[in-house]
Amino acid sequence: MVTHGHADHARPDHDKVLATPETLAIMRARYGERAGRDMQALDYGTALDIDGVNLRLVPAGHVLGSAQAVLEWGGSRIVVSGDYKRRPDPTCPPFEVVPCDVFITEATFGLPVFRHPPDGDEIAKLLASLETYPDRAQLVGVYGLGKAQRVIALLRQAGYDRPLYLHGALEALCRLYRELGVELGELRPAKGVDKAELEGEIVLAPPSALNDRWSRRLPEPVTAMASGWMRVRARAKQRGCELPLIVSDHADWDELTRTLDEVGAPEVWVTHGNEEALDHYARGKDYRARALA
């Protein structure tokens, strides 16, 4: 069972894969023939019996197709959250709270220092920079699955309706999101466009392209990066990032702790990030907690 399409969760070459139809489509787009031999789609909310264990998938609000696995057996219920966030995302359905006996949570931003600002504020920073520098391009570093499409959708939500320019590495997944019904407005390849034409435009590229030769085709780019890690100044600096945008697809500290309280699981397993602090929080609340190595 694969919770979502990110490469640290969805690996190629499995014999059998069970996931939402969207996650299977993302895996096929990324891995082609190697996506998996036997691919079984399971829609959100549809129950499946596997050797007496009842399984259903519910939205995790992380990226398109992302799911939590709800497992029930003998009157008890375990929820495996995968990666998740709690704030609204125009590109995927919201996280569903499922009360349970055991909750397995991620902890990417599991430290009280991580409190993500409202997405709208970060998008407004980008639009303000665009206005301040009409002769420069805004080059925004985004991960290809989820972040790219979310930043685009947030720009559209903010009323930005000009074409957005894409690095070639982002095109396939943006196309797939659209085929799966996510509105992204007009997107154009950045390749082959005159330098002068990109003045005052927004260009999206994978983080690896921000400072390499590729970016020289752009007119004096303002280098931005959209990531939850932009909260850490050293990380932004390391990327040579002038305009850090804190936009995350992972729950921040407040979202993580609120989720533990809402699912109300007496037992919490913490994995995937800063396990210790969240583990400590859970124990303080009298949950039985343990960090999964």
Residue 255 within binding range of Zn ion, rule CB under 5 A: no
Which residue, 83 or 122, has its beta carbon nearer to Zn ion? 83
The helix or strand, by DSSP H or E, that contains position 222, with its residue range, turns out to be: strand 222-226
Which residue, 220 or 276, has its beta carbon nearer to Zn ion? 276
Residue 6 within binding range of Zn ion, rule CB under 5 A: yes
Alpha helices, DSSP H only, in the chain? 21-31, 119-132, 147-157, 171-179, 233-238, 253-263, 275-284
In whole angstroms, the minimum distance from the beta carbon of 4 to Zn ion comes to: 6
Which residue, 143 or 281, has its beta carbon nearer to Zn ion? 143
In whole angstroms, the minimum distance from the beta carbon of 173 to Zn ion comes to: 14
Residue 147 within binding range of Zn ion, rule CB under 5 A: no
Query: Which tokens hold the place of 14?
Result: 């499995």
In whole angstroms, the minimum distance from the beta carbon of 227 to Zn ion comes to: 12
Which residue, 6 or 77, has its beta carbon nearer to Zn ion? 6
- Provide the 8-state DSSP code for 26: H
CA angle 52, 56, 59 (to 5 degrees): 165
Q: Tell me the per-residue interface mask from 64 to 103 with Zn ion, x by CB under 5 A, - otherwise.
A: -------------------x--------------------
In whole angstroms, the minimum distance from the beta carbon of 6 to Zn ion comes to: 4
- Judged by CB under 5 A, the number of residues near Zn ion is 3
Backbone angles phi, psi at 253, to 5 degrees: -55, -45
In whole angstroms, the minimum distance from the beta carbon of 132 to Zn ion comes to: 33
| Cβ-based neighbour number of residue 178 at 10 Å | 14
The Cα 113–Cα 272 span in angstroms is 17
Secondary structure of 176-218 in HEC code, one letter for each residue: HHHHCCCCCCCEEECCCCCCHHHCCCEEEECHHHCCCHHHHHC
In whole angstroms, the minimum distance from the beta carbon of 231 to Zn ion comes to: 18
The window from 7-15, 72-80, 152-160, 172-180 that contacts Zn ion (CB under 5 A) reads 7-15
Residues that bind Zn ion (CB under 5 A): 6, 8, 83
